Structure 1
Amino acid sequence: MSSLNLDDFSDLIERPDSGVRRDAEERRERLTVAPGALGRLDELGEWLSAAQGSVPVSPVRRPRVVLFAGDHGVASLDVSGRPAGSTHRLVRDVLEGASPVAVLARRADVPVRIVDAGLDCDPELLPAEVVRHRIRRGSGRIDIEDALTAEEAERAVRLGMAIADEEADSGTDLVVLGDLSVGGTTAAATLIAALCGTDASVVTGRGGAGIDDLAWMRKCAAVRDALRRARPVLGDQLELLATVGGADLAATTGFLLQCAVRRMPVILDGVVSAACALVGQRAAFRAPDWWLAGQLSGEPAQAKAFDRMALEPLLGQGVTVGEGAGALLALPLVQAAAALAAELPERPAPAAGADTRPEAEETADAHTPV
């Protein structure tokens, strides 16, 4: 019997401060730029102010990209555009600065942290700081077997919680969340289909690497078979992650929930982070108030998960590469919203005794019959 119950997070997570948000909205009304003129940036600034508990909002000074990495046994069914067990190559590309997220992070001067939760490779192939947290070597083939044991699932969730605590304690003020996986979108689609009560074909997309029609049909079949195994355990989120998730997805779920506990905002990326967020919402209904949907990738399961959580993506560039790249593209919008909310001047207060009635009112008074 696991000693961890994800439902306990419901009592630990509070919503961002509604009183602070009202103060931020009132301050926005006093700025020299007319309300509504900045579009959704106004809403973002107010959300961030409530998350920080600060009016005016503070700049986002120490963002960080956090990527959870893992391999999935279901990739052996040729459901991905990449070979099974090859996620370590994606990790190496990020470390060497040769991947999309590495290029974007370098341009934005944002550090990247990679956490190996379940890569299927020899640990010697990667730096010790990446592989030292590994739960197991690869996750099980979810169409016919559990991804993890119950003990491994708990360890993975606790790993994610520990990483969130480390980031919060080190001063990270906003996380850009992503994943590095082969086969991860199949597990993510299964989780979302199970939690939303939909069929495999509704949620199955082409993945970050892109697949042809035959591979898509194999992926649909894998999601369908995994769904049969997922539905009986829907009442227990930890068991669900053990059955059809994976070490990286379980760790990401724990990370998201603990970020909400620590009041640390997160920008979600693709379908994998969306699936983990949906599991987190099932455990703690207030948790999504701490998360932003960074981008709409075009994966049908991601759109369904965001809709279920009432999260409106900031961007819609169709970035399916994963790695947190789409979410990182949204970071400048959040930073811009914070800067505008904090730095735009307020309208000067009217002088004492001055007539503050609108001109239209004065004109009307002048023509009122005596």
Structure 2
Amino acid sequence: MYTSSLEQTLRRKIDFKTKPLGALGLLEKLAFRIAMIQKTETPVLSDPTIVVFAGDHGIASEGVSAYPPEVTFQMVENFIAGGAAINVFCRQNGLGLRVVDAGVRYDFSENAPIIHAKAAPGTANFLREPAMTDVQLAFCLEQGALVVHNLRRDASNVVGFGEMGIGNTSSASVLMSLLTGLPLDACVGRGTGLSNEKFARKKEILAEAIRVNGVQTDPREALRTYGGFEIAQMVGAIRAARSAGMTILIDGFISTAAALVAFRMQPNVLDNIIFSHRSEEQGHALLLDYLGAEPVLQLQLRLGEGTGCALAYPVLKNAVAFLNQMSSFEEAGVSGKTEEQRIEE
């Protein structure tokens, strides 16, 4: 088969670079993954873009965040103005940035440099009722896919996903618990930095919400009941990026929860996903383990916005560069072990 032949060719190519076997560690795995995604021995990263999906959450009215809900739209305006961390890191590392209004409780100008894809001005409060309707969920999945379709049409083959939405760690925690079977307490973190008292209250609220709406283990129904519009659009975008043969970078806890939902809907999405970092948010390490993921970075981040993707991207660039440019022992005239000797090892 073509893939089997390519796999063997790539492993030979990587192993016979002028280095000890495996000496470039995770870079070797990344180079192999990207080449396999692109189905070529000489991969190229084109027009890398970070997409930040933003949406408000009804559950935020229950005080599950240290910040008020209006911070969501204020941060989107900060993205537009170019003053957020994700703007800085995208500029520094040569990445494009798109911001999507998936469901912010604010009316942005029609001329604002964002993608207008608002499902509604925030989800319903899932302590009282499901977060969204079937129609809203279908809209979000379609809009997320459309964002990726347009990027791919414009020749991008690398996309990173981030988010902004006060209250979205609550949605991510419940989705993680329901879709992995892990206890809710192991999945819920402090989010934006809750006090001990508010953290305990957050866990009580989320446990009560599950009692109200039920233990949904079907990924689509769990997403409809407990998700956010920005999470749902990421799910649609992840699935579309897999279908388009793109390399997918996933940011922190919320983005990984979206990847979990996408995986439960379509397991082969993991073939194209690279997890950019391990967040400090409680639950993220467990979720990465569940997905069998090996994150690129560990920088004690817990910001979101796609910042981990932007910081990890230069590592991907270096992985592709060594694969394409580094000499083999034969090319460099350096004595190395034969293929038979390496196989024996």
Change (3 A) 1:19 1:273: farther
In 2, distance between residues paired with 1:142 and 1:53?
43
The amino acid of 2:46's aligned partner reads: R
Deviation at residue 108 of structure 1 after TM alignment: 1.1
Q: Residue 56 of structure 1: SS of its match in structure 2?
A: coil
Change (3 A) 1:179 1:131: same
Counterpart of 1:334 in structure 2 is 316
**Structure 1 residues 290-343: Cα deviation after superposition (integer angstroms, max 9, x where no partner):** 101111112222222211110111111111111011221111111110101110
Q: Contact (CA 8 Å) 2:129, 2:213: kept in 1 or not?
A: no
Equivalent residue runs for 1:262-281 within 5 Å:
262-281=244-263
Q: Contact (CA 8 Å) 1:190, 1:226: kept in 2 or not?
A: no
Deviation at residue 231 of structure 1 after TM alignment: 4.6
Change (3 A) 1:27 1:249: same
**The structure with more radius of gyration:** 1
Q: Contact (CA 8 Å) 1:203, 1:300: kept in 2 or not?
A: yes
In 2, distance between residues paired with 1:287 and 1:37?
29
Change (3 A) 1:83 1:52: same
Q: Residue 163 of structure 2: SS of its match in structure 1?
A: strand
Change (3 A) 1:295 1:230: farther
Equivalent residue runs for 1:269-308 within 5 Å:
269-308=251-290
Q: Residue 338 of structure 1: SS of its match in structure 2?
A: helix
In 2, distance between residues paired with 1:70 and 1:280?
18
Deviation at residue 127 of structure 1 after TM alignment: 4.2
What TM-score does the superposition give when structure 1 sets the normalisation length?
0.86
In 2, distance between residues paired with 1:231 and 1:324?
31
Matched, 1:109 2:94: yes
What TM-score does the superposition give when structure 2 sets the normalisation length?
0.92
Counterpart of 1:174 in structure 2 is 158
In 2, distance between residues paired with 1:256 and 1:138?
21
The amino acid of 2:209's aligned partner reads: A
Deviation at residue 232 of structure 1 after TM alignment: 3.9
Counterpart of 2:203 in structure 1 is 220
Counterpart of 1:86 in structure 2 is 71
In 1, distance between residues paired with 2:184 and 2:337?
62
Match of 1:148 among 123, 128, 132: 132
Give the unaligned 5+ runs of structure 2: none
Match of 1:47 among 33, 38, 44: 33
Counterpart of 1:255 in structure 2 is 237
Counterpart of 1:65 in structure 2 is 50
Q: Residue 300 of structure 1: SS of its match in structure 2?
A: coil
Counterpart of 1:5 in structure 2 is none
Deviation at residue 17 of structure 1 after TM alignment: 4.2
Q: For this pair of structures, how many residues does the alignment match?
A: 336
Q: Residue 286 of structure 1: SS of its match in structure 2?
A: helix
Counterpart of 1:8 in structure 2 is none
Deviation at residue 200 of structure 1 after TM alignment: 2.2
Deviation at residue 46 of structure 1 after TM alignment: 0.7
